[in-house]
Amino acid sequence: MEKVSEIINKARKMNIAIPAFNVPYLPMIEPIIQAVIDEDSFSLIEVARVEWMKTGAKGPREVYEEFIKWEKPNYVRLHLDHVPVIDEDNKRVDYLPIIKEALEMGYESVMVDGSRLDLEANIQATRRVAELAHKKDAACEAELGAVMGHEPGPLPPYEEIFASGKGFTDVKEAEIFVAQTNCDWLSVAIGNIHGAISGALRNKKKPEARLDIKHLSRLSEVTRIPLVLHGGSGIAREYYLEAVKNGISKVNVGTELRQTYEAALQEDNSIAKAQDAVYNHTRNLISGYYNVSGIQKKIFG
C-alpha cells in the first residue's frame, strides 16, 4: 500500500492540495468518506486534540474505530491533527503518549504542534516525533509560526494580523527547522487563521482570510517539502488557488463542515439529516472550492 507521505509528495509535484477534513463529531466520518469516494477524490480524515477535548470527537481511539468501519485506503487515510505541546489555553500537554498511542493504533500520519514553543524547543519536540513516526513508516507534520484562532477570546482584527505579518512563519527559521527535524510536512502561517472553536464566535462566519503568496513561495523554495495550509475554511478563493500553485499540498478543513453538521442537527435534531448535510456539503467543496474531483486516478495512476 502506498504510504501517505508518498501520496502527498505526488500531490506536491502535481500542484494538487489534498483536503484533510476534521471530524469533531464521530457521525461525520461516514458521510465525508462517502462523498470523497463518490467524487473519485482523495482526502485525509483528521482529528485534533481540541476536538476531543472541546467538541464531540471523544478521542483518537473512537475516531480510529469509526474510521476503520468505512475506510477505503485508495480514497481516504487517517491523520492525527494538532497535538500541541502547549495548548490553546496555554497549558502544557503530555503530548508524546497521545502520539505514540495513535501511531500504535494505526494512524498513518501525526502532527506535533510546537508552535507555542521557542524555535529550539519546537525543533527538539518535532525531531523526536518525526523519529517515532518514521519508525512506524508514518509521516510527521509540524508547525512553525502561529496560525491563530483556536485560543479563547477574540483575535485582533483580521486586517491587522495580515498587514503586520504577526506570527507569520519566518523563512530562515523554516529552512533550519526542516533540516534539523526531518519532518515530512510543515504547517505555515501566511495570513491563514483557524475558525474559532469556543465561545460565541464558533457559530459565526469566519473572517475571510487572504494569503501572502510571495512569502509562501519563499517558504516552499527553502523547505522543499509539502506545506500545509491550516484554517482552510473560507479563505478568499483566488488566494487559495495561488497557494496550491506555490507549495501547499495539504489543506485542513474544519469550520466549514463542523458548522454544517451543528446547524443541521440543531434544526432537525436528526443525526441522519445532519449526516446528509455533511455529505452534500463535502461533495460541493470537493467539486467546487477545492477543485479535487477525479484526482484519485491521477494519484494512483
Q: Which is nearer to ligand 13P, 153 or 301 (CB)?
A: 153
Distance separating alpha carbons of residues 12 and 248, to the nearest angstrom = 7
Q: Which is nearer to ligand 13P, 10 or 194 (CB)?
A: 194
Give the cell for residue 281. Answer: 456539503
- The answer to whether 84 touches 93, Cβ cutoff 8 Å, is yes
- Told to check if 109 binds ligand 13P by CB under 6 A, we report no
Distance separating alpha carbons of residues 232 and 47, to the nearest angstrom = 15
- Told to check if 254 binds ligand 13P by CB under 6 A, we report yes
Q: Using the rule CB under 6 A, which residue among 60, 191, 195, 247 binds ligand 13P?
A: 195
Q: Which is nearer to ligand 13P, 183 or 253 (CB)?
A: 253
* Residue 129, H or E segment: helix 119-135
Print the binding letters for residues 220-239 with ligand 13P: x by CB under 6 A, - otherwise. Answer: ----------xxxx------
Distance of closest approach, residue 121 Cβ to ligand 13P, in angstroms: 21
Distance separating alpha carbons of residues 100 and 131, to the nearest angstrom = 11
- Active-site residue (options: 38, 40, 81, 94): 81
- Told to check if 7 binds ligand 13P by CB under 6 A, we report no
- Told to check if 5 binds ligand 13P by CB under 6 A, we report no
Helix/strand/coil for 261: helix
Distance of closest approach, residue 151 Cβ to ligand 13P, in angstroms: 13
Helix ranges, 165-270 (H)? 171-181, 213-223, 237-245, 255-268
Helix/strand/coil for 78: strand
Closest residue by Cα to residue 130 from 161, 103, 170, 157: 103
Distance of closest approach, residue 170 Cβ to ligand 13P, in angstroms: 20
- Told to check if 33 binds ligand 13P by CB under 6 A, we report no
- Told to check if 41 binds ligand 13P by CB under 6 A, we report no
Roughly how many angstroms between the first and final C-alpha of the chain, as a whole number? 13
- Catalytic residue check, 276: no
Q: How remote is the C-alpha of 109 from its chain's centroid?
A: 11
Could you list the active site residues?
A: 81
Footprint on this chain of ligand 13P (rule: CB under 6 A)? 22, 48, 81-82, 194-195, 230-233, 252-255
